[in-house]
Amino acid sequence: MLYRVKIESHLKIILLYTLFFAVMSLSLFLIIKGNIIIGILILAAVVYVVFILTRSLKRELKSHVKTGENEISFNLYGEENLVFPWDSIKTAGMCRYLDGHESLFVYNEKDDRFIEIPEHISDFAGLKKELNTKTSFVEVVLRKGETLKDALKELLEL
C-alpha cells in the first residue's frame, strides 16, 4: 500500500501563496505608477521566495511510505529511500504529543534507524492498523519536555 503526504496538510503554505500574489500585484502597481526600482525589488524578492517555497513543497509532496508483504519503505523528500524488512523492526507504534497531534514511528534495530511518520500522511489510520498487525506495536504518550527519542530509549532500555 502507498501512503503519501496530503496537500491539505499544507494550508498555511497555500494561504501564503495567496499573500505573495497580492504583494506581486502591489509591486506591478508600483511599477506602473512610476516607482520602478521599488516595484522591481519587491517583485524580485517575492518571485525568489515563491521559487524556494515551491521547491520545498514539491520535495515534501514526493515523500511517501510504501508497505509490502516483506518490507516497508520510506521515501524521504524524494531523495533518500530507506527499506526496512518487517523482521528487522524491533518496535513501531503511535506517539501522542501534549498538544494533541499524533505520529507513527518505526525503529529498525538491525540498522539502528528511527523514522517518524507525521499524521498528515494519507490514510494515517490504515497505516497505523498495518503497523499494528505486522510489528510489535506500542503507544507512547509524551510527558512535558520529553522527546519521542527519549521515550523510545526508555521503552527499549537503550
pLDDT in tens, 21-75: 888 888 888 888 888 888 899 889 989 988 998 888 888 888 889 999 999 999 8
- pLDDT exceeds 90 at position 17: no
pTM above threshold 0.85: no
Q: Which pLDDT band, with edges at 50, 70 and 90, does 84 fall under?
A: very high
Q: Please report how the helices 36-62 and 11-33 are oriented relative to each other, as an axis angle in degrees rounded to 10.
A: 160
- pLDDT exceeds 80 at position 123: yes
CB 59 within 8 A of CB 104: no
Q: Which pLDDT band, with edges at 50, 70 and 90, does 132 fall under?
A: very high
Average pLDDT over residues 118-145: 89
CB 99 within 8 A of CB 116: no
Q: Which three-class secondary structure state does DSSP give residue 78?
A: coil
CB 68 within 8 A of CB 90: no
CB 121 within 8 A of CB 65: yes
pLDDT of residue 158: 57
pLDDT of residue 73: 93
CB 148 within 8 A of CB 142: yes
CB 103 within 8 A of CB 93: no
pLDDT of residue 153: 82
25/92 Cα distance (integer angstroms): 49
Q: Which pLDDT band, with edges at 50, 70 and 90, does 93 fall under?
A: very high
